[in-house]
Chains A and B, each alone.
Chain A
Amino acid sequence: MLRHAIQRLAMAVPVMFGVLLVGFLLMQVVPTDPAIVRAGPTASAEVIDAIRRDLGLDQPLWVQFGLYLWRLAQGDLGVSIINNVPVTQELAATIGPTLELMAASLIWSIPLGIAMGTIAAYWRGSLLDRVVMAISVAGVSVPVFFLGLVLIWLVGFQWQLLPFTGRGGPLWTIEGLRAIALPAITLGGVFVGPVARMTRTAVLDVLGAEHVRTARAKGLPERLVVLRHALRNAMIPVVTLIGLQIGFLLGGAVVTETVFSWPGVGRLAVGAITSSDLPMAQGTIIVLSLGFILVNLTVDLLYGVLDPRVRAS
């Protein structure tokens, strides 16, 4: 187990380093001089030179990379060129809402997807199975923004039931819950399909296994055979696959945040890129990538805990 963990960590470190290097190079290839940007349009050549020295921009590239890592370690990702707010401050304010949105989407879509997949597998080939599979194929084919726009138009505008712009407040308030409902339904909506599909395959695999036949043969009620023997064993691949789908969910979150003006990292990143706010764009991309590496690492380690066979191999 420990070896597995160390191996995974050892692989994650160079990847993180690579992300930081790409983030650093991002600022190099772009033809704007950060010193001029920071000094403002009216600054004299001396002032720009001073800022350049101050930022270490007169040093060789590898020294600059070192300085960049050093500043990063202190939580300094630079300052937005649009509104002069430190990038870390904006990031700190937006990470929470993004995690909130992802959690609120997963909390209903995973159980629903697992239930749908199990039902489809158990009554394989029936009309019910066909309906569930049709829903899940439609689910993986529908653009997230389509779902979002339809919900906004129908639930938000026609029925006037729920708000559809921005975050309403903390989740323990009614306003907060009402505001997150539509974004969470949208983002979770595209996740149900893949989960149902993966669960169906995994449960089908297990239903044919010998221990399930044994459980049946000894007269265990069907309900227990499915819940205790089939579903539980099917969970190992399902959990891993769900973990690996988090990237897919992140992509959906970026779009969902944009559609619903949800104040998350994804919307921040898109806004920064379309307005050429490079420090902000760089910061958001680094944070999203690092977050992503961490999620993958966690899933990998969890997999080891859930399934002892992984540790051995």
Chain B
Amino acid sequence: MSATAAEILAPSRPSALRLLLREPAAAVSLTLVVLVVLAGALAPWLAPHDPFDTNLMAIMQPPGGEGYLLGTDGQGRDMLSRMLFGLRVTLGMGALSLVFGTVVGVAVGFAAAYYRRIDGLLMRLMDILLSFPAILFGLAIAAIVGPGIASVVIALSVATVPLMARIARSSALVVLGLDYIEAARAQGMGDARLIWKHLAPNCLSPILVFATLRFGQVILLGSALSFLGLGAQPPVAELGAMASQGRTFLFFAPHISVLPCLMIFVVVLAFNVLGDALRDALDPRLRV
């Protein structure tokens, strides 16, 4: 077998991606995640119908019927189109919360690790945030700003910050103890540059692993809040809200509720399996 120059120069350790794909469950979940994200992103082009278009001549059609692959809901709207748009909203809601939570959380974690004087104060604050369940933030913020997608995003971001801060802080502390940080400092590198150039890239893998695992939970929590009526409001298609509205028809047309539920389940499962596999591939020490 001939080896390319890159393969000779690179250390013999197989790439994380290759390690990841060796595990069949991981390969399947990665494929699913890619498909689901594409389906959500391309929803306007993939959807066969307008997700808000009601057809009162064809309400509660079971899946497999003519013209409607996954049937219709109680108002005769195409389930497949609504599922695609619902997926888009659910994923978007989750992604926004995760990005906000991660940016703030990582900033707090790095600050705590780098400026040890404020470490105690910051982490106590994080402990307090951590001691409340996300659903309680969801209830409180929905009570203040009113139910809606924005309140779900705020609540889930707030709930993600302390978790991310802990991960970022502990990995930053390890990296900051290494020699090359000392070397960079000795060269007179400033705080901001040091953090951006040397600290952040080396803390990436634990943050990435945690973000993947967290994404599943955020989707689960976000759809639960929408299910409760505190998130996306009708007629917006969102998987949790769709599951909730379908309850009225549970006994005549269970697919209206069950299909969005199944979709949430598959998405969360894919992210959880992928997160576990990523952790194993990037950090074998954590493998149990």
Interface residues of chain A, those whose CB is within 8 Å of chain B, are 11, 15, 18, 22, 26, 29-30, 137-138, 140-146, 149-150, 152-153, 157, 200-201, 204, 247-248, 250-251, 254-255, 258-259, 269-270, 272-274, 276, 278, 281-282, 284-285, 288-289, 292-293, 296
Are B136 and A250 within 8 A (Cβ)?
A: yes
Are B140 and A22 within 8 A (Cβ)?
A: yes
Are B276 and A137 within 8 A (Cβ)?
A: yes
Q: How far is the CA of A184 from the CA of B257 in the complex (A)?
A: 21
Stretch from B80-88, B95-103, B215-223 that touches the partner: B215-223
Are A146 and B147 within 8 A (Cβ)?
A: no
- Decide if B181 is an interface residue (CB 8 Å cutoff): no
The interface residues of chain A lying within 8 Å CB-to-CB of B105 are: none
Are A138 and B258 within 8 A (Cβ)?
A: no
18 sample A-B contacts, Cβ–Cβ < 8 Å, listed by A number: A26-B143, A138-B269, A143-B220, A143-B268, A144-B224, A145-B227, A153-B250, A200-B288, A250-B133, A251-B221, A254-B139, A259-B247, A281-B139, A281-B143, A285-B139, A288-B139, A292-B131, A296-B131
Are A153 and B243 within 8 A (Cβ)?
A: no
Given contacts A26-B140, A201-B288, A270-B229, contact A145 B132 (CB under 8 A): no
Are A247 and B132 within 8 A (Cβ)?
A: yes
Are B139 and A270 within 8 A (Cβ)?
A: yes
Task: Name A146's closest neighbour in chain B (CB-CB).
Answer: B261
Are B258 and A248 within 8 A (Cβ)?
A: no
Are A29 and B144 within 8 A (Cβ)?
A: yes
Interface residues of chain B, those whose CB is within 8 Å of chain A, are 124, 127-128, 131-136, 139-140, 142-144, 146-147, 216, 220-221, 223-224, 227-230, 240, 243-244, 247, 250-251, 254, 257-258, 261-262, 264-265, 268-269, 272-273, 276, 288
Given contacts A145-B227, A201-B288, A251-B134, contact A269 B243 (CB under 8 A): no
Q: Which residue from B128, B133, B251 sits with its C-beta under 8 Å from A247?
A: B133
Are B265 and A141 within 8 A (Cβ)?
A: yes
Are B139 and A145 within 8 A (Cβ)?
A: no
> What 3 A-B pairs are tightest by C-beta distance, nearest first?
A247-B133, A251-B135, A146-B261
Are B139 and A269 within 8 A (Cβ)?
A: yes
The interface residues of chain A lying within 8 Å CB-to-CB of B220 are: 141, 143
Q: How far is the CA of A292 from the CA of B133 in the complex (A)?
A: 8
Given contact pairs A254-B228, A255-B135, a sample of 13 additional A-B residue pairs in the complex whose CB atoms are under 8 Å apart: A141-B269, A142-B265, A143-B261, A144-B224, A150-B258, A247-B132, A247-B136, A259-B247, A270-B229, A288-B136, A289-B132, A292-B133, A296-B131
| Most chain A CB atoms below 10 A, which of B228, B243, B247, B269 | B228
Are A157 and B251 within 8 A (Cβ)?
A: yes
| Most chain A CB atoms below 10 A, which of B131, B134, B257 | B131
Task: Name B268's closest neighbour in chain A (CB-CB).
Answer: A141
Q: How far is the CA of A247 from the CA of B216 in the complex (A)?
A: 17
Q: How far is the CA of A141 from the CA of B273 in the complex (A)?
A: 10
